[in-house]
Amino acid sequence: MSKKFEYKVAIYRESMLGSLFLGGSKVDPVKFSEFLNANGAQGWEVKTMEREDRRMLLFFNREAFLVVMQRETSS
């Protein structure tokens, strides 16, 4: 019997406040770790991720990660 998987795509980014007050916002490694650990506790495993700068309101940037996760399904 072959394994079956399901996938989840999530965009993780910081709030807009840092970008508005500082002109840019970087992802907090502690909060990002909490996000990854919360998903890992549900059985999700990160397969790939990509960092990107997302523009907002024409003048401000904030860092974001596109995260693709996978977990084995029971069926």
pLDDT of residue 27: 78
pLDDT of residue 11: 92
The pTM for the full model equals 0.75
pLDDT tens readout for residues 40-63: 999 999 999 998 876 666 666 678
**Annotated domain spans of the chain:** 5-72
Provide the CB-side half-sphere exposure for 52 (13 A, CA): 10
Q: Do the Cβ atoms of 69 and 39 come closer than 8 Å? A: yes
pLDDT of residue 48: 97
pLDDT tens readout for residues 3-21: 999 999 999 987 655 444 4
CA distances from 62 to 10, 11, 16, 27, 67 (A): 16, 12, 8, 8, 16
pLDDT tens readout for residues 23-34: 446 778 898 999
- Topology at the third CATH level for domain 5-72: Translation Initiation Factor IF3 (3.30.110)
Strand partners, 50: 66
